[in-house]
């Protein structure tokens, strides 16, 4: 991927207008959420959905590396929820 470097002016209010070429290229519309990620190189701006997809992919890779299936992960989640319900609300889902 070719790196595109352009300069933009930070407004007094702290806002920067995202150029139309980027909004169009990444399918961004008014009201869409974007994420700012601090890196060693500076700030990375990413559509929120892209960030979520990337994190889910990394989670999937980690689970495969640990040889944990989706079913095992869901079972562990149910067990943790059960313990939390009992601890915080006195609800025992095994009764």
In this prediction, residue 51 carries a pLDDT of 67
Any domain includes 51: yes
Query: Is there a domain that residue 58 lies in?
Result: yes
Number of domain units in the chain: 1
Report helix, strand or coil for 39.
strand
- Does residue 92 lie within any of the structural domains? no
Q: Which residues of 44-56 are buried (b: 16+ CB within 10 A; e: fewer)?
A: eeeeeeeeeeeee
CA distances from 42 to 33, 34, 56, 86 (A): 20, 16, 23, 45
**Which pLDDT tens digit goes with each residue over 26-75?**
888 898 888 888 888 888 888 776 667 777 788 888 888 888 888 888 88
Residue 10 lies in a domain: yes
CATH number at residue 16: 2.10.260.10
Residue 94 lies in a domain: no
pTM higher than the cut 0.85: no
- Range list of β-strands (E), 1-95: 34-39, 42-47
Which range of residues forms the domain containing residue 46?
1-67
Interval 2-7 mean pLDDT: 75
- pLDDT band at residue 1 under the 50/70/90 scheme: low
């Amino acid at each position: 991927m070719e790196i595109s470097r352009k300069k933009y002016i930070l407004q007094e209010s702290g806002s920067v207008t995202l150029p139309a070429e980027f909004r169009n290229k990444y399918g961004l519309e008014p009201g869409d959420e974007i994420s700012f990620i601090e890196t060693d190189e500076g700030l990375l701006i990413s559509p929120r959905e892209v960030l979520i997809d990337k994190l889910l992919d990394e989670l999937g890779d980690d689970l495969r590396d640990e040889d944990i299936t989706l079913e095992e992960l869901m079972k562990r989640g149910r067990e943790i929820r059960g313990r939390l319900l009992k601890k915080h609300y006195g609800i025992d889902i095994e009764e």
